[in-house]
Amino acid sequence: MKLDIQRLLQNSIVIKHLLPLVLLFVTFLTSCKEPGLSGLLDVFYKREKVLYLTTMGPVSPEKVKDAARVIEKFYGFRVKNIGGNKLPEEAYCSGRKRYVALRVLDHLKGMDPGDLFHYNYKVLALTEKDIETEDGNVHWGVMGLAFLGGDEGIVSGFRMKARFRKVVLHEVGHMLGVDHCSFEVTACFMNDAKGKGTIVDRTKFYLCDGCRDNMSF
Ligand SMILES: [Zn+2]
Ligand SMILES: [Zn+2]
């Protein structure tokens, strides 16, 4: 039996009755944002969560792959490596020979990941350079920095070699809205390291239930 597609389409109930409804719905969706196809693409692609991973200065490809793998495995969303970016010169503190983490985060905020189709994203930078944070006139070196629910984060391998993966998970945890662990679970990697490697070593690759409940992206 030969199928007459054209006739089928002409008489199809879908074309006659449902298509106008579909078009109306599409018009509604696109009018929420901007008109046209790009508006529709926005609506569609905004649903996909992506974490962009970028390196600042030389970082071994194995380390980048390892970070991507552990984030994907642990948090379940897609990680895309967007390659290397330069550390912003304006973030360098020549006195202490460290990069001011906050300024690097500001720099990441203005960065275009060069990816057309992913709008719901966060960016995590990996570096081997020493980074610091400050409180008034007090400055101290840190392993990573990210704000609660923030879209930018940085992890530096300078002050830790073996602790790197836990700090990656810790900073991404902050980006997902998880504050420092207040549930007294020693093994939870969201415990505040207070700049001490020994606290990081006490934690496991484990996120306690309380912290997990606070996660959102
Ligand atoms: Zn916890
Ligand atoms: Zn923290």
pLDDT tens digit string along 9-27? 455 544 455 555 544 454 4
Q: Based on the structure, what is the number of domains in the chain?
A: 2
Task: Say whether both 43 and 59 belong to one domain.
Answer: no
In-domain check, residue 32:
yes
Q: Which long-range contacts (CB under 8 A, 24 or more apart) does 29-34 make?
A: none
pLDDT value at residue 42:
62
Q: What's the pLDDT score for residue 55?
A: 97
In a domain, 105, yes or no: yes
- Does some domain include residue 3? no
> 101 lies in a domain?
yes
User: For 92-148, how does the pLDDT look when each residue is reduced to its tens digit (9 = 90+)?
Assistant: 998 889 999 999 999 999 888 888 776 789 999 999 999 999 888 888 889 999 999
Same-domain pairing of 131 and 154: yes
CA 190 to ligand 2 centroid distance, Å:
7
- Give the model's pLDDT for residue 40: 67
Ligand 1 centre to CA of 200 (Å) is 13
Residues with CB under 5 A from ligand 1 (ion): 181, 183, 185, 188, 190, 208, 211
- 105/126 same-domain check: yes
- For residues 19 and 64, membership in a common domain is answered with no
Looking at residue 120, what is its pLDDT? 85
CA 80 – ligand 2 centroid, Å: 23
Give the CATH number for residue 82.
3.40.390.10
Q: Is residue 93 part of a domain?
A: yes
Let me know whether 26 and 115 are in one domain: no
Query: Which residues form the domain of 42?
Result: 14-47
Task: Report pTM.
Answer: 0.67
Q: Are residues 65 and 120 in the same domain?
A: yes
pLDDT over threshold 90, residue 29: no
- Same structural domain for residues 71 and 36? no
- CA–CA gap between residue 71 and residue 192 (Å, rounded): 19
Ligand 2 centroid from CA 70, angstroms: 18
Question: Residue 189: pLDDT above 80?
Answer: yes
Please report the pLDDT score of residue 16 as a whole number. 52
What would the pLDDT profile of 34-71 be if each residue is shown by its tens digit?
446 666 666 666 668 899 999 999 999 999 999 999 99
Q: In what order do the strands lie in the sheet with 120-127?
A: 78-85, 49-56, 120-127, 152-156, 144-146
